[in-house]
Amino acid sequence: MNGYYFITDSTLSRAGNINDVSRAVACGVEVVQYRNKNAESRKIYEEAVRLRKICSDVLFLINDRIDIALVTKADGVHLGQTDIPCLVARKILGSRKIIGITVHNLAEAKEAETSGADYLGVSPIFQTNTKLDAGKPAGIALIEEIREQVSIPLIAIGGINHSNATEVIRAGADGLCAISCVVAKENVDEEIKKFQKLFKEHIKGN
Ligand code: TZP
Ligand code: MG
């Protein structure tokens, strides 16, 4: 799992989740996470069914909702520290589904890896207005610290933009997500491509 990781945000989106995800898939993103904190379950279910079809050839993950992931045959879920524990989610989902866990420090990262997480969301790296309860920015030092002691992929998130993404990648993140500076812009695909270019340049530079 690496490169630009796409997360939906219908409150910031200009053209809606269906349009944004179609564009992200056309850009060649490897992962799409459907995150919807505001809608009722019926709406989330119906949108997830549509998004699953658009994401037939990319990894399709659902934020928080194990039930929606199961019923839409998503590839997995993304869970936070206050969601269903990773070990319990694994029991429900089985060994073949992907489970991503948000972590804020090294202890949470080690615990998530031991509990069978497939990748970690390292959060928040910088200050963000997109998730108001994200906590105190950890800086890229947290990516470096976790990178040294944990071997599963690290996806950095929180306040990442085109100016600070290079230091995030250099710190050891396998992937990154930047919601507001992609989804709130008119040309979602152009913004995604800029991040994808940074990853390509990093690979070449190494
Ligand atoms: N989880 C941790 S920070 C965050 C999420 C979903 C929001 C990131 O949004 P932005 O706009 O890229 O700062
Ligand atoms: Mg959650």
pTM: 0.97
Ligand nearest to the CA of 134: 1
Ligand nearest to the CA of 79: 2
| pLDDT for 36 beyond 80 | yes
| Ligand 1 center from residue 91 Cα (angstroms) | 28
| Ligand 1 center from residue 34 Cα (angstroms) | 13
Residue 204 confidence (pLDDT): 77
| Ligand 1 center from residue 131 Cα (angstroms) | 5
- Which atom of ligand 1 is nearest the CA belonging to 126? 13
What letter would DSSP give residue 6? E
Whole-number Cα distances in Å, 122 to 41, 63, 102, 128, 202: 27, 15, 6, 13, 20
| pLDDT for 154 beyond 80 | yes
